[in-house]
Amino acid sequence: MPSSITRALFDEVMVPNYNPSAMIPVRGQGSRVWDQQGNEYIDFSAGIAVNSLGHGHPQLNQALTEQAQSLWHVSNIFTNEPALKLAQTLVDSTFAERVYFANSGAEANEAALKLARRVAVNRAGTDKTQIIAFDNGFHGRTFFTVSVGGQAAYSDGFGPKPAGITHLPFNDLVAFEQAISERTCAVIMEPLQGEGGIVPATHEFIAGVRALCHQYQALLIFDEVQTGVGRTGHFYAYQHFGVVPDVLTTAKGLGGGFPIAAMLTTAELAEHLNFGSHGSTYGGNPLGCAVAQVVVDTLKQPMALANVQARSQQLRAGLERIGQRYGIFSEIRGMGLLLGAVLAPAYAGRARDFWESATEAGLMCLVAGSQVLRFTPSLLITHADLELGLQRLELAVQQVVNAANAPRK
């Protein structure tokens, strides 16, 4: 189908903060996507760990269209049935007793960080302001959350940053123990760093951080924006680690493609965000909540989580096979369907080349920095689609390896 809407138009009308692929997707079904020319792709990206039920899921479409027939939006001057029902479900399925809805991961983290600061002000006065975060952590792009994130390159160049933020090496309990004090009001971490390169926390680190947060009365915030809602093969990753945070943020996969996020916490802490202290116009709107209800009801089922574990093993085995055959990966790491393939030294910094080659071979995937290929398919992906995607990845790898004329193992 010829179209005047092309990739070239992007450069004419869009702010250049993204550099999207040359092909433009127009339709999706399950784990398959088609572009303007009708080329088919296997989707190992799922909109960056968002389309957790795949594309065009019938029950999601039904929930969205049914809700669209009755009520789209009322603001938080009024509450609404889908929001209350979803909050009840999240409370019933996690440690949480209270829920705050937002529209993006950054906004959920903004709420979590503001809550932590407010709790400290109310309980301890003005000196307890330090927020500890970790190198290569990612928490969003609002100025507060990006400053808390552990890549200075993302927050540099925008003028004075919010104060009181300390960055420490991830998985280094000794450095953490030396840095935390009575002045620390919150510690924020991803149980498994996503954007930072698919780096899981060690059990020892996460348990040690929890204990020290208790000791110094600092809130422990788990940013599960990427790891939540079944992505790791557990409903939330904290349940795998057996370490319960004070605050948890969730977004990406929560809406299966509809923008929605939530901050979960205890009743006692929630009291500090009292009437008028924080808010959002769209947060918890009926459309998003009705869709997220289907996602949550589907993915808290042991059957769905078992599929994530089974497909995880299949994907990991396939990546290891390809890695060995062409000598391109030094490590496969991650949990569930959030896996990273770390490039071997001979291919250092070339993740984008593999990504481009994959797209040409009919596979949508992701990178996490310049050293790691990231795979976040739909959590409902079938054995057959996963196998086909791996075949296309192998073709893409052959292209890059041949072009580089690198010696094969």
Ligand X SMILES: *Cc1c(COP(=O)(O)O)cnc(C)c1O
Residue 70's CB is within 10 A of a number of other CB atoms, namely 10
* Residue with smaller CB distance to ligand X, 251 or 396: 251
Smallest gap from residue 145 Cβ to ligand X (A)? 7
Smallest gap from residue 138 Cβ to ligand X (A)? 5
- Out of 28, 30, 54, 105, the residue judged to bind ligand X by CB under 6 A: 105
Residues across the chain: 409
* Residue with smaller CB distance to ligand X, 189 or 322: 189
- Give the C-alpha separation, 269 to 120, whole Å: 10
Smallest gap from residue 223 Cβ to ligand X (A)? 5
Smallest gap from residue 50 Cβ to ligand X (A)? 9
- Give the C-alpha separation, 65 to 82, whole Å: 14
Beta-ladder partners of 265: 98, 247
- Out of 106, 113, 260, 287, the residue judged to bind ligand X by CB under 6 A: 106
- Out of 96, 237, 251, 366, the residue judged to bind ligand X by CB under 6 A: 251
Q: Which of residues 133-192 bind ligand X (CB under 6 A)?
A: 138-140, 190
* Residue with smaller CB distance to ligand X, 134 or 138: 138
Choose the binding region for ligand X from 104-112, 209-217, 305-313, 375-383 (rule: CB under 6 A). 104-112
Distances (CA, A) of 72 to 3, 75, 77, 94, 363: 32, 10, 14, 27, 35
Beta-ladder partners of 248: 222, 264
Q: Which of residues 4-63 bind ligand X (CB under 6 A)?
A: none
Choose the binding region for ligand X from 32-40, 88-96, 98-106, 295-303 (rule: CB under 6 A). 98-106
Amino acid 159 reads: G
Tell me which residue of 41, 108, 104, 97 sits closest to 252, measured CA to CA.
104
* Residue with smaller CB distance to ligand X, 226 or 357: 226
Please check whether residue 244 is in contact with residue 97, taking contact to mean a CB–CB distance below 8 angstroms: no
CA atoms within 13 A of residue 239's CA, in its CB half-sphere: 16
* Residue with smaller CB distance to ligand X, 224 or 385: 224
Decide if residue 364 touches ligand X (CB under 6 A). Answer: no
- Give the C-alpha separation, 134 to 4, whole Å: 45
Please check whether residue 294 is in contact with residue 230, taking contact to mean a CB–CB distance below 8 angstroms: no
Burial class, 142, CB count within 10 angstroms (exposed 0-12 / middle 13-18 / buried 19+):
middle
Smallest gap from residue 191 Cβ to ligand X (A)? 10
The two three-digit tokens of residue 3, written as one number: 């179209």
Smallest gap from residue 380 Cβ to ligand X (A)? 20
Q: How far apart are the first and last CA of the chain?
A: 43
Helix (H) / strand (E) element for 267: namely helix 267-270
Q: Which residue is nearest to ligand X (CB)?
A: 105
- Give the C-alpha separation, 1 to 38, whole Å: 8
In sequence order, what DSSP letters do the residues of 229-280 get, joined into one string?
A: TTTTSSSSHHHHHT---SEEEE-GGGGTTS--EEEEE-HHHHTTS-TTSS--
Smallest gap from residue 192 Cβ to ligand X (A)? 9
Smallest gap from residue 233 Cβ to ligand X (A)? 17
# residues near ligand X by CB under 6 A: 15
Question: Between 199 and 238, how does the x/- string for binding to ligand X read (CB under 6 A)?
Answer: ------------------------x-xx------------
| φ, ψ at 262 (rounded to 5°) | -150, 150
Smallest gap from residue 49 Cβ to ligand X (A)? 7
| φ, ψ at 183 (rounded to 5°) | -80, -10
Helix (H) / strand (E) element for 239: namely helix 237-241
Choose the binding region for ligand X from 102-110, 205-213, 262-270, 352-360 (rule: CB under 6 A). 102-110
* Residue with smaller CB distance to ligand X, 139 or 167: 139
* Residue with smaller CB distance to ligand X, 30 or 340: 340
Smallest gap from residue 84 Cβ to ligand X (A)? 23
- Out of 35, 43, 110, 195, the residue judged to bind ligand X by CB under 6 A: 195
Binding site for ligand X (CB under 6 A): 104-106, 109, 138-140, 190, 194-195, 223, 225-226, 251-252
